[in-house]
Structure 1
Amino acid sequence: MSSPAHKIRFGNLSVTIWRNSSEKGVWYSVSPSRSYKKGDETWKETDSLGFDDLLPMAKLLDQAHSWIGKQMQADAKARKAREEANAEAE
């Protein structure tokens, strides 16, 4: 499994951002999760959120949205630079 492009945490909540690519281009996906301790003290993760998790998770998702937006701009700039370099080489 590939490593995440970025991870944002707040307390026991996190949002993992994945960079995906195919012949059609690059896109990003997001996995929200909440960490908790099972009775035997091992850490587990779930995508189930409680009432008190909703607003903090919304803020994390907002930060993820901003990060992805900036990353998509950087991706477009890099793609344009590659295309210009390829055009000059021809």
Structure 2
Amino acid sequence: MTSNVLTIGELIQPLDKGQITIPIKFRKILGISRQTVLNVFLKDRSIIMTPVEIKPQQKTNVYLRDYTKKEISAFLKEDELSKSLKNKIQKIISQ
């Protein structure tokens, strides 16, 4: 016969915004600090939180280059607004 008795660990209550405090003894056992990232998911009617280690991906095949002054000037010219559009924007802003 299966028992429906709930195992009691630490009883906590969520704050107004749903935040909970993980008991300090759990944090110490699991090595959870302020910088620890937790994977949180639902399983049946339980919330499961597991500490995870995030390792930055090494970027490969990254191609960076320096732009010439001429190229930068061309980019800026492409982004320039026409005089009529500038005037329309100025009218809207000054209202």
Report the TM-score range of the alignment, normalised by the length of the smaller protein. Answer: under 0.3
Computing the radius of gyration over CA atoms, which structure comes out larger, 1 or 2?
2
> Counting helix residues as a fraction of each chain, which structure ranks higher?
1
Structure-1-length-normalised TM-score: 0.22
Per the normalisation by structure 2, the TM-score is: 0.22
- Higher RCO (Cα < 8 Å, 6 or more apart): 1
